[in-house]
Amino acid sequence: MIEVQNVVRRFEQQRRPVLNGLDFKLERGSFAFLTGASGSGKSTLLRLMYGADYPDEGKVTVAGHDLHRGEPRALAMIRRRVAVIFQDFRLLRERSALENVRLVLELRGVDRRLAHRRAMEALDDVGIGAFAKRPVPQLSGGEQQRVAIARALVGDPQVLLCDEPTGNLDEELSMQVLGLIDLASSRGATVLVATHDTEILRRFPHPTFHLSEGKLERRG
Ligand SMILES: Nc1ncnc2c1ncn2[C@@H]1O[C@H](COP(=O)(O)OP(=O)(O)O)[C@@H](O)[C@H]1O
Ligand SMILES: [Mg+2]
């Protein structure tokens, strides 16, 4: 489902490439963690997987599409099949929870009433249906991350990429958020979660890939 082959990504100011010949493969429906010190390149690697950046060398394939060139077809596929969850939620702050979730479907041309219904269901699934009408700034961090998860899952993604999704949450909320991400996985999504939360790694026994000095090493 996700395949990274011999990928090199270097930034000008740096002596060594951030990603220095990476190989990585995640089968359809599997769940893995991505660990590594701050600055080791986790976000950089994830960005290559959702088409926000391209490798200098090598190849990134997601859901059968080669992403190393900015071809519009690959980007359209990503918008449809790949969902991303960020540490800082990245919701539209001037919109309600419901509008944030519904917009994903409306942008795909889903009929307004159906989009409304499915967005409500997605918010109910993550336990915040009661807050649907609230503007984002009136939601707590944990509630905002649930909205972001609902937004990620409403379109039934094939791939779910999470970049330190619990970085701004306390331990109890972190476990709940991981539980919801696990749920997405049980519905068939291929999931990759960048984290350095050791409690999460302990409680959710999925394979872990560790990024260090530009290389990726499987642990556990
Ligand atoms: N667009 C960019 N331009 C220059 N350097 C970058 C850019 N993006 C990331 N970097 C550098 O690449 C390294 C890895 O960053 P990042 O992928 O954000 O690490 P992580 O997510 O593991 O903390 C850092 O040294 C960072 O400064
Ligand atoms: Mg990062």
pLDDT per position as a tens digit, 31-76: 999 999 999 999 999 999 999 999 999 999 998 888 866 667 778 8
Amino acid 85: pLDDT:
96
Mutate which of 11, 46, 87, 193 to test ligand 1's pocket (most atoms within 8 Å of Cβ)? 11
Average pLDDT over residues 192-218: 95
End-to-end CA distance of the chain: 20
* 3-state secondary structure at position 139: coil
Instruction: Give the pLDDT confidence of 71-111 residue by residue, as tens digits.
Output: 677 788 888 899 999 999 999 999 999 999 999 999 999 99
d(CA 101, CA 146): 11
Nearest CA to ligand 1 atom 18: 43
Q: What is the pLDDT of residue 78?
A: 83
Ligand 1: residue whose CA is nearest its atom 16: 41
How much of the chain, in percent, has pLDDT values that exceed 90? 85
More confident residue, 75 or 10: 10
CA distance 38 to 12: 19
Q: What per-residue confidence (pLDDT) applies to 163?
A: 98
Cα dihedral across residues 100, 105, 110, 115: positive or negative: negative
Rounded Cα distance between 8 and 6, Å, is 7
63: left (phi over 0), alpha (psi -120 to 50) or beta: left
Ligand 1: lining residues by beta carbon, under 6 Å: 11, 13, 18, 36, 38-44
- Report pLDDT for 70: 60
The pLDDT score that the predictor gives to residue 69 is: 65
Lowest mean pLDDT of 34-43, 72-81, 145-154, 202-211, name the range.
Answer: 72-81
Q: What is the pLDDT of residue 218?
A: 94
Query: What pLDDT does residue 74 have?
Result: 78
Give the number of whichever ligand sits closest to the CA of residue 87: 2
Q: Which CATH architecture has domain 29-53+70-219?
A: 3-Layer(aba) Sandwich (3.40)
User: Which residue minimizes the CA distance to atom 6 of ligand 1?
Assistant: 11
- Residue located nearest, by CA, to atom 10 of ligand 1: 11
Percentage of the chain surpassing pLDDT 70? Answer: 98
pLDDT of residue 15: 87
